[in-house]
Amino acid sequence: MFARWDRMAKQFTRIGKEIAIAVKQGGPDPDNNPALRRCFANAKGVNMPKDRVEAAIKRAMGKDKTDYEEVVYEGYAPHGVAVMVETATDNPTRTVANVRMHFNKEGGSLGTSGSVAFLFNRMGVFKIKNEGQNLEELELELIDAGLEEIGEDSEGNIILRTPFTEFGNMAKALEEKGITPLSAELQRIPTTTTELNEEQAKEVLELIDRLEQDDDVQQVFHNLR
């Protein structure tokens, strides 16, 4: 139960920072701010209370608001697994020191910019409910909006993937169809994966877990199969 609460608190914090960044870049009106609408969808997807969302918007507009900077770090986990760490921080000096410490303590190494980014494609990933949807028909309808891949997750939800540049087009197309995504995120999808034995994979996952627990870290991506 406590682990679930920790995950929920982490999700709320992550989305709160995303809201702050979205408001700073495009204002507090979701009708004129697609990034903020995406935040609302993601907040709903993790059952973030409406008052928490509204409080995050107010904080982002207040005089004492925290200015978050988005910084991406790259490195290697044990056994050569590529790792990308997306952060939102008000103190990059603190964040890079912490991220380097996490890599070092778990047998990995922090790399330079561009050291592993070429191993990932940045894509828009939308999760929608499968409420009587015909996947073939939906695929045909969304190709013009930039759909590149369509499939289902383990819970039966439909997963749509688009190139990074088509994210806005897909969001608009779903909106026009009256479909509200359970989540809409920009993710880094590995182009190649690394397969390890159970013991080696456990070492990698310990680093991933350690990074994800850091307050400044928003998302962690890797190419472990």
- According to DSSP, the β-strands at 149-152 and 109-110 are unpaired
Q: How much helix, strand and coil, in percent to the nearest 5, is found in the chain?
A: 50, 25, 25
Better pLDDT: 154 or 63: 154
Q: Which residues contact 96 (CB under 8 A, 6 or more apart)?
A: 71, 73, 110
Whether residue 2 is predicted with pLDDT greater than 70 in this model: the reply is: no
Q: Which domains, and CATH codes, for the chain?
A: 4-61 (1.10.10.200), 69-117+192-222 (3.30.70.980), 119-190 (3.30.70.980)
- The pLDDT value recorded for residue 5 is 73
Q: What percent of the chain has pLDDT over 90?
A: 84
The total number of residues shown for the chain amounts to: 225
- The pLDDT score that the predictor gives to residue 1 is 59
Q: Residue 36: what pLDDT?
A: 92
- Kindly state the average pLDDT of the residues 105-110: 98
Mean pLDDT of the chain: 94
Model confidence pLDDT, tens digit, residues 26-35: 999 998 998 8
Burial class (CB in 10 A: 0-12, 13-18, 19+), 208: buried
In the predicted model, is pLDDT for residue 8 greater than 90?
A: no
Identify any residues that bridge with 188 across adjacent strands, giving them in sequence order: 122
**What's this model's pTM, rounded to 2 decimal places?**
0.89
The residues, ordered by sequence, that sit 6+ positions from 32 with a Cβ below 8 Å of its Cβ are 26
Distance between first and last Cα of the chain: 28
- Asked if residue 97 has pLDDT above 80, the reply is yes
What is the mean pLDDT of the segment spanning 164-190? Answer: 93
What is the arithmetic mean of pLDDT over 170-177?
Answer: 92
Q: List, for residues 130-145, the tens digit of each pLDDT value.
A: 988 899 999 999 999 9
Is residue 44 within 8 A of residue 181, CB to CB? The reply is: no
